Amino acid sequence: MPAIERLTADDFDAGVKELAGLLVDAVDSGASVGFLAPFGHEEAAAWWRSQAPAVADGSLLVWVCRDGGAVTGTVSLALASKPNARHRAEIVKLMVHREARGRGLSRALLATAEQAALDAGADLLLLDTETGSTAEHVYRTGGWTRYGIVPGYAGSPDGTLQDCSFFYKRLEAKRLEAKRLEAKRLGAKRFTASG
């Protein structure tokens, strides 16, 4: 499996060119990720650069998947800033390059973001995706619950309005399992230490 790494603010600035290439590939392949065709590298780089302040202040966490040094996928986690919403976060811009699809990278990136959400104290995740898309299949089979569909919500890259599925995932079960495993590990250490 290729390496997944979180981008620091400095790494993010240096990685904008590769992230832009990934975003252009997503739009060119028909993914509904917020942009219309034609969509060029400069426009993609400008969008990623506009995210830099959120990356710098820690409200947006960005990971990339690298295979042989090249960025083949990315996912971002937007942490809620409202005082009454710190228990939730949003998955945004999960993208895998066309040439790297079908290898489980989207699931690995998603699992990384889910764990980071838990680490940040967020156990409710939200996302939206084009209804009927490959991404929707990834979420439905990954434990996410679809709670609604809005007809004609967003345009695909060719401008055709598409339905959008909205999902949530409660991570409390993952949190409890992690605590159980940690308690088991600590218990084993105590037993070993006491003889």
Write the pLDDT tens digit of every residue in 41-57.
Answer: 999 999 999 999 999 99
Q: What is the pLDDT of residue 178?
A: 67
**Which of 195, 100, 173, 91 shows the shortest CA–CA distance to 139?**
91
Q: Which CATH architecture has domain 3-194?
A: 3-Layer(aba) Sandwich (3.40)
**Least reliable range by pLDDT among 28-37, 77-86, 177-186:** 177-186
189-190-194-195 Cα dihedral, nearest 10 degrees = -40
0.75 surpassed by pTM: yes
Q: Which helix (H) or strand (E) holds 142?
A: none
